[in-house]
């Protein structure tokens, strides 16, 4: 069907063979998925825009979109938690939804649309839209399906923004992530039953946990 739309049979075959394996660990899966999605999107861009497609080209575009979204879903089903951890420093940072999804576009190219791609889609009339935002929906549905990641994202979205605090009259100054100015917490826990001592030192300042 793709060849009937004028796409190169050789390129289509090579692309199909590069489909990512379903059992790869996260780093390898992310790279393989990104390569496959990027090549698939390139094939899609070679077709005319939606209003100008003939029947064969419209069928090819639909087939490409379906395949790409299936691969996105497969990757996210297996690795949404790994990806979310990479985007949030293992859930140490609160990242709001818009920043999160565009960070994912940079970390795994092709997985979700970039800001530029979304701007182009938003400028199209409704009948001419390509449906690129579906990939964003897939991303968020898999993140929210993870109890740990979903709860963290909801927590991040519930935090007041700097703009909201400023409107309430607060003076807002932004600090870098992990700045020592926010304080440094060091702690020692003594287990009274086992006698084991556990210590933790905040990495934002010169501090150490030492047992004597």
In the structure, what pLDDT confidence band is assigned to residue 178 with cuts at 50, 70 and 90? confident
Measure the CA–CA gap between 187 and 72, rounded to whole angstroms: 43
What's the predicted TM-score (pTM) here?
Answer: 0.79
Q: Is the pLDDT of residue 211 over 70?
A: no
In the structure, what pLDDT confidence band is assigned to residue 188 with cuts at 50, 70 and 90? confident
The reported pLDDT for the residue numbered 141 is 98
Q: Is the CB of residue 101 less than 8 Å from the CB of residue 140?
A: yes
Residue 166: count of CB within 10 angstroms of its CB: 12
Measure the CA–CA gap between 5 and 19, rounded to whole angstroms: 21
For each of the domains in the chain, give its residue range(s) and CATH number, in order of start: 3-166 (1.20.58.1300), 175-212 (no CATH)
**What mean pLDDT is reported for the chain?**
91
Q: What is the pLDDT of residues 83-133, one digit of tens each?
A: 999 999 999 999 999 999 999 999 999 999 999 999 999 999 999 999 999
Burial of 69: CB neighbours in 10 Å, binned 0-12, 13-18, 19+: middle
The reported pLDDT for the residue numbered 2 is 80
Burial of 153: CB neighbours in 10 Å, binned 0-12, 13-18, 19+: buried
Q: Is the pLDDT of residue 183 over 80?
A: no
């Amino acid at each position: 069907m793709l060849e009937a739309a004028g796409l190169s049979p050789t390129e289509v075959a090579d692309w199909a063979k590069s489909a990512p394996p379903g059992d790869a660990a996260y780093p390898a899966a992310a790279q393989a998925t990104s390569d496959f999605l990027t090549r698939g999107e390139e094939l899609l861009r070679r077709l005319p825009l939606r209003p100008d497609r003939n029947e064969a080209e419209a069928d090819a575009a639909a087939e490409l979109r379906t395949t790409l979204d299936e691969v996105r879903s497969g990757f996210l089903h297996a690795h949404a938690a790994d990806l979310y951890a990479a985007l949030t420093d293992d859930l140490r940072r609160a990242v709001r939804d818009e920043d999160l999804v565009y960070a994912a576009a940079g970390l795994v190219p092709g997985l979700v649309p970039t800001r530029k791609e979304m701007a182009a889609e938003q400028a199209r009339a409704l009948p001419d839209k390509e449906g690129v935002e579906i990939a964003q929906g897939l991303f968020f549905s898999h993140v929210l399906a993870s109890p740990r990641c979903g709860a963290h994202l909801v927590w991040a979205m519930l935090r007041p923004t700097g703009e909201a605090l400023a409107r309430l009259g607060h003076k807002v100054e932004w600090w870098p992530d992990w700045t020592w100015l926010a304080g440094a917490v060091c702690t020692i826990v003594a287990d009274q039953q086992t006698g084991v001592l556990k210590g933790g030192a905040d990495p934002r300042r010169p501090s150490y946990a030492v047992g004597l």
